[in-house]
Amino acid sequence: MRMFLCVKTQKLLSRVLSPSATVRWRRLSCVSSPDEDKPRPSVLRHLTTKLKATGPIPVAEYMREVLTNPVTGYYVRNNMLGPDGDFITSPEISQIFGELLGVWIVSEWIGAGRPKQLQLVELGPGKGSLACDVLRVLAQLRSVLGDASASLHLVEVSPALSRLQAQNLTGDRSQEANAEDEPVYRRGETAGGLPVSWYRRLDDVPAGFSVFLAHEFFDALPVHKFQRTAKGWREVMVDIDPEKPGQLRFVVAPSPTLASSTFVQAGERRDHVEVCPEGGVIVQQLAQRIAEDGGAALIADYGHDGTKTDTFRGFKGHQLHDVLAAPGSADLTADVDFSYLRRMAGGGVACLGPVAQRTFLKNMGIDTRMQVLLRNCSDASTRKQLIGSYNMLTDPAQMGERFLFFGLLHRSRLTQPERATGLTLDTKTKKSPLPPPVAGFTELSFS
């Protein structure tokens, strides 16, 4: 029975990878908004005013202010993704990435017994490219989904990016809510009539069977940083540099803070640790939703399993950038500690991974998909681009080993179904089927 899902997922793949499957060109245009033309308030001025009033602030508060302050935040004001932005992500590099995640979603929906409702929820959807690629797969597999009703729910803090997502996913078929505090701040539908809703927080997404995707989302959430000292663990804070006016510096808190007494694990062996409590809370919410309503979550990010120390860094124009210089002008990020996420998920759900992106994509059949695309592509420069993006996603020295995939599943998904207990004559001879393997985390068999 172990082969069951392998064959099922293989069938899903072969429909998505049909000979008609072609290379899709991305629209990299930006949708301008009325706010984008206004002069920006200085993030540095705002921060120094705050620091003068309160004294040093935790790195987590600095990161939150810089990235998601409702007026000045880097994510709130910018379109930072792509070749002209500050960084590029896997869904922007190749359509294959989102297509394989689309197959994963449908295979988990099948593994859960084909519920009548499928909510696809994406946290931090960027330009909406991943969702576009996933929805194209869902449309190709419409006959597999039968009469299940699918809907898309996007959790996005940035009004600028939500407009770009709406443009890419719905064209002009979306509308902003009238009142600013509406939990659903924008609604629309795709050309195929699939409903799409936008929320600021995961809390606002309705309950129901859901598959959650979070790609390069957790690394954008604020981290606290802690340093081991002769006096014990101390929190790293951000302060004004007294010797260089207008510049910021790191300082170590002289005494324990609430965070340093709470978040560092007993028996921690590293000298420096980063903890992302906001990420922990979101994983707890995902785990609770999956345990109560069924579903799965796939979290993909660069990260580690509780081994790394100082990973906080900035990116500007595809170059590393000093995290304290010109705040608001660069992306800030920290590697995701998957061992922390696993701990925060608790025992109510099953956790899988993390596995390297290369392993996950190869298990999902990326090599077969590449062959199909290359077979249908005679243009030399497009072929070169396809091969280049494949290498970027899978090469261990590029994104292949640095990016990790981590899954949360309903506990029933991995447990052997109970034997039938009815009084039918053949009950004794029936074998309980093994649970179907989880695609991506288990190698697909093409035998």
How would DSSP label each residue in 169-222? HHTT-EEE-SSTT-SEEEEEE-TT--EEEEESSGGGSPPSSEEEEEES-GGGS-
Q: Which is nearer to ligand SAH, 3 or 71 (CB)?
A: 71
Q: Decide if residue 400 touches ligand SAH (CB under 6 A).
A: no
| Sequence-separated (6 or more) residues with CB below 8 Å from residue 62 | 47, 222, 238, 327
Q: Decide if residue 435 touches ligand SAH (CB under 6 A).
A: no
Q: Decide if residue 81 touches ligand SAH (CB under 6 A).
A: yes
| Sequence-separated (6 or more) residues with CB below 8 Å from residue 378 | none
**CA separation (Å) from 376 to 17, 317, 390?**
11, 34, 16
For residue 54, with 0-12 CB atoms within 10 Å meaning exposed, 13-18 middle and 19 or more buried, which class applies? exposed
Distance CA 192, CA 170 (A): 9
Q: Decide if residue 85 touches ligand SAH (CB under 6 A).
A: no
Largest pairwise CA distance in the chain: 86
- Token reading at 385: 């681009």
Q: Decide if residue 92 touches ligand SAH (CB under 6 A).
A: yes
Stretch that binds ligand SAH, among 88-96, 180-188, 284-292, 361-369 (CB under 6 A): 88-96
Q: Decide if residue 212 touches ligand SAH (CB under 6 A).
A: no
| Sequence-separated (6 or more) residues with CB below 8 Å from residue 368 | 13, 17, 446
Stretch that binds ligand SAH, among 9-17, 151-159, 175-183, 345-353 (CB under 6 A): 151-159
Rule CB under 6 A: choose which of 220, 276, 291, 336 binds ligand SAH: 220
Q: Is the peptide bond before 354 cis (omega within 30 degrees of 0)?
A: yes
| Sequence-separated (6 or more) residues with CB below 8 Å from residue 380 | none
Rounded to the nearest angstrom, the gap between the alpha carbon of residue 236 and the centroid of all alpha carbons in its chain is 27
Stretch that binds ligand SAH, among 215-223, 255-263, 287-295, 417-425 (CB under 6 A): 215-223
| Sequence-separated (6 or more) residues with CB below 8 Å from residue 129 | 26, 91, 92, 98, 168
Stretch that binds ligand SAH, among 87-95, 184-192, 337-345, 357-365 (CB under 6 A): 87-95
Site string for ligand SAH, 112-131 (x = CB under 6 A): ------------xxx---x-
Q: Which is nearer to ligand SAH, 337 or 350 (CB)?
A: 337
- Minimum CB distance to ligand SAH, residue 160 (Å): 8
8 Å CB contact between 45 and 179: no
Q: Decide if residue 337 touches ligand SAH (CB under 6 A).
A: no
What amino acid occupies position 138?
L
- Minimum CB distance to ligand SAH, residue 156 (Å): 5
Q: Decide if residue 133 touches ligand SAH (CB under 6 A).
A: no
- Minimum CB distance to ligand SAH, residue 161 (Å): 5
SS3 call for 27: coil
- Minimum CB distance to ligand SAH, residue 342 (Å): 21
8 Å CB contact between 233 and 264: yes
- Minimum CB distance to ligand SAH, residue 216 (Å): 4
Q: Which is nearer to ligand SAH, 12 or 161 (CB)?
A: 161
152-171: which residues touch ligand SAH (CB under 6 A)?
A: 155-158, 161
Q: Decide if residue 216 touches ligand SAH (CB under 6 A).
A: yes
Rule CB under 6 A: choose which of 9, 10, 48, 68 binds ligand SAH: 68
Q: Decide if residue 389 touches ligand SAH (CB under 6 A).
A: no
Binding residues for ligand SAH, rule: CB under 6 A, are 68, 75, 81, 89, 91-92, 124-126, 130, 155-158, 161, 215-217, 220
